[in-house]
Structure 1
Amino acid sequence: MYEKSFPSKRYKLTIEFLKKHISTSQPILDLGVVNPLTKIMQEHGYNVENTKGEDLDVDTSTIKNSESEVVVAFEIFEHLLSPFTVLQSIQANTLVASVPLRLWFSSAYRSKTDMLDRHFHEFEDWQFDWLLEKAGWKIMDREKWTNPTKKIGLRPLLRWFAPRYYIVYAERVK
């Protein structure tokens, strides 16, 4: 289970937020390839289908053709050049999405070895809210949480107090 998975706090809070809003009877489209959180959702009884690894900035056909009632997007929008296009292409009326928040004391994440594992966007909460609103979504619930580390230093200390993740439950505006 997620208690033994890294990063367990993020997984635990994400699944608790999902369970608060989404029934296991609602089919889910998870934006992104199968990942540890996909497996955790399945362990909790959710029926999850994933996108296939296509570049969602260019190809949204899987999203447009999905019959899932719910779309989840956990830490994916920060990797896209155009999350607005993806948000508009969603056919489901329910969205649960999380993003890493921009931290004033730390630059955006950029892997030196994986060209795809980079953040094009790191949002402030109001920016993500505005993006969702402009794309036709209304936020019904939201939470933030910190991501402390066990390292020593000023930035690790600040991570105990500054929220790092932002999750929302949103419904399509009709």
Structure 2
Amino acid sequence: MYEKHYPEKRFNITMEFLKSHAHSPSTILDLGVENPFSKLMTAEGFSVENTKGQDLDVDRNQLFSSSAKITTAFEIFEHLLSPLEILKSVQSEHLFASVPLKLWFSKAYQSKTDPWDRHYHEFETWQFNWLLKKAGWEIIEAKTFTHPVRKIGFRPLLRLITPRYYLVYCQRKS
């Protein structure tokens, strides 16, 4: 486990999951701009190319032109209007993706200060599985995990026991 290396539980779980199926120095196309996790993947020996901040709902050219064998999409699909089109456009053979799960006790996330930082989708596991299958991906392994917060109250207690994230490793169907 990577708990001693990374400050966030989801980083630890995601890195362990990634490294159980992909080995450095694999080349990765990471959907989204450079971020703390893409920097961690680079530090772990992966060769990471990030998308350039373009609106992937409109401009998918980089997805078509990338020669990376692995694509990662960690917590990005919830921000996109058309995740099906993005998933169909990925040219890699392997996909690692995570999405926040819909929580019955909490509304979808919407930043009060950043108009781009909001969730158009929060999935149930069956919905994301269906989306992946429809886009031509076969799920090899999947896992859910919680993301507790350091607060006191009923919702923080629910976050301690209710899975918040869904993480999958997929291969392109032949």
Q: TM-score, normalised by structure 1?
A: 0.96
Deviation at 1:11, TM superposition (A): 0.5
After superposition, residues 12-161 of structure 1 pair within 5 angstroms as 12-161=12-161
Change (3 A) 1:118 1:2: farther
Q: Which runs of 5+ in 1 are unaligned?
A: none
CA RMSD in angstroms, aligned pairs only:
1.3
Q: Secondary structure at the match of 1:142?
A: strand
Identity %: 55
2:167 maps to which residue? 167
Deviation at 1:3, TM superposition (A): 5.0
1:2 and 1:40 in contact (8 A); partners too: no
Partners of 1:150 and 1:21 lie apart in 2 by 31
- Number of residues of Structure 1 aligned to a counterpart in Structure 2: 173
Partners of 1:155 and 1:25 lie apart in 2 by 41
Partners of 1:89 and 1:51 lie apart in 2 by 13
Q: TM-score, normalised by structure 2?
A: 0.96
2:79 and 2:121 in contact (8 A); partners too: yes
Deviation at 1:16, TM superposition (A): 0.4
Deviation at 1:154, TM superposition (A): 0.7
Q: Secondary structure at the match of 2:160?
A: coil
Partners of 1:105 and 1:77 lie apart in 2 by 21
Deviation at 1:153, TM superposition (A): 1.0
Q: Secondary structure at the match of 2:143?
A: strand
What letter matches 1:162 in structure 2? Answer: T
Q: Secondary structure at the match of 1:159?
A: helix
- Could you report, residue by residue, the CA deviation over 1:32-73 in whole angstroms, capped at 9, with x for unpaired residues? 000000110011111000000000000000111000000000
What letter matches 1:18 in structure 2? Answer: L
Deviation at 1:25, TM superposition (A): 2.9
What letter matches 1:164 in structure 2? Answer: R
Partners of 1:9 and 1:43 lie apart in 2 by 18
